[in-house]
């Protein structure tokens, strides 16, 4: 347990450049406080002390604005950045070195008493406001874009964007951290995501151009240089 707590603390320094010192992190990081409230509640929950476990979780929610059910399974090195509004359900499973930003929900989609919350494998990053719903599995080293809504399984080494979430592979290659001293491979560049809608629209426009050229139809095109997006004058 002590080793896990140390890994939780070290995760803050590994993934938050704003962390200046141990005392600051220990006293002013609600994500870390919520996680340690959870670990205490989870210890009680596993021993059948359900009410004390829930009460510990509830107190942690009141103190931090982060709700983690004591029945969830969370691995070492878990980091919640800022954290306000994060909700993690009872049957959620989270691997090692996972990062969540504020407003993330790992929620259920049924009244089923069994497994109804998602599983996040190692080194997953979930962007601000994203919702991961149902008993689905998010593969290792995947990035979920901000405000995405994910309702289907995601393979490892993927990027998920949009509503509902759409998967874009990153050539199946594992992204390693620049600092090889780190023991994990968390890729925090969750703001640099592909626009799959834009790609689809560009493909459709290219197809329309091709069909119009074959049919002898010509239309003027206007290019908006700032966005490098092609529009048709109707």
What's the whole-number average pLDDT of the chain? 81
The answer to whether residues 166 and 144 touch, using CB atoms and an 8 Å cutoff, is no
Q: How confident is the model at residue 182 (pLDDT cuts 50, 70, 90)?
A: very low
Q: How confident is the model at residue 165 (pLDDT cuts 50, 70, 90)?
A: confident
Residue found under tokens 């002390």 = 49
Residue 198 has pLDDT above 70, yes or no: no
How far the first Cα of the chain sits from its last, in Å, is 66
Contact 188, 125 (CB under 8 A): yes
Band of the pLDDT at 227, cuts 50, 70, 90? very low
Task: Quick: pLDDT tens for 14-36.
Answer: 887 888 888 888 888 888 899 99
Give residue 103's Cα distance to chain centre. 10
The CA R_g of the chain, rounded to the nearest whole Å, is 21
CB 134 within 8 A of CB 116: yes
**What's the pTM value of the predicted model, to 2 decimals?**
0.71
- How confident is the model at residue 187, as a pLDDT? 55
Q: Higher confidence at residue 124 or residue 26?
A: 124
């Amino acid at each position: 347990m002590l080793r896990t707590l140390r890994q939780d603390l070290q995760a803050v320094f590994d993934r938050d450049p704003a962390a200046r010192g141990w005392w600051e992190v220990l006293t002013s990081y609600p994500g870390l406080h919520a996680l340690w409230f959870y670990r205490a509640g989870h210890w009680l929950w596993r021993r059948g002390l359900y009410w004390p476990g829930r009460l510990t979780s509830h107190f942690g929610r009141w103190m931090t604005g982060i709700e983690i059910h004591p029945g969830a399974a969370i691995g070492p090195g878990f980091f919640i950045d800022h954290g306000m509004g994060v909700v993690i359900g009872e049957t959620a499973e989270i691997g090692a070195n996972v990062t969540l930003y504020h407003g993330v929900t790992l929620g259920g989609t049924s009244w089923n008493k069994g497994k109804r919350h998602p599983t996040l494998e190692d080194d997953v990053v979930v962007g601000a406001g994203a919702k991961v719903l149902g008993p689905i599995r998010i593969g290792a080293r995947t990035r979920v874009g901000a405000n995405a809504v994910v309702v289907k399984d995601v393979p490892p080494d993927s990027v998920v964007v949009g509503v509902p979430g759409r998967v874009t592979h990153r050539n199946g290659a594992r992204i390693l951290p620049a600092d090889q001293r780190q023991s994990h491979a968390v890729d925090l560049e969750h703001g640099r995501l592909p626009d799959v809608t834009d790609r689809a629209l560009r493909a459709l426009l290219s197809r329309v151009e091709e069909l119009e050229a074959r049919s002898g139809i010509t239309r003027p095109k206007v290019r908006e240089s700032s966005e490098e997006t092609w529009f048709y004058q109707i």
